Amino acid sequence: MRLPYVHSLKEKRKTLKSLMAKIAQRYSASVREVGSHDAHQIIELGFSFTALSEAEARDKAYAIEQTIWETIASMGELIEYSTDCVLPDFLGKRFIF
């Protein structure tokens, strides 16, 4: 995410904390900043969660993406978003959506 109107790491942390808490609480997901720690206008997030089915995983990933869009809409833009879903080895499947 790029936040052109954020002018300090303190502002970034405030936005980041709010967004991470919202995702964690709404979707029972684990959320972390995974890069660009010292760049005050860039946020790189990673999140993980469990789901009982591929459909549930897709729905949850889509809902998280929408929450991110809604949260940063007035202050920045989502530059890149990708998901990677890993299923247990005994199912022998991996899919990216």
Query: pLDDT tens across 17-70, in order?
Result: 999 999 999 999 999 999 888 998 998 989 899 888 888 888 999 999 899 888
State how far the alpha carbon of 73 is from the alpha carbons of 42, 66, 81, in Å.
14, 10, 15
Q: What's the whole-model pTM score?
A: 0.76
pLDDT at position 97 is 54
Helix axes 54-72, 9-27, angle to 10 degrees: 150
Residue tagged 């991110």 (tokens): 68
**31 or 80: which leads in pLDDT:** 31
Q: Read off the pLDDT band of 83 (50, 70, 90).
A: confident
pLDDT at position 54 is 80
Q: Are 31 and 24 in contact (CB under 8 A)?
A: yes
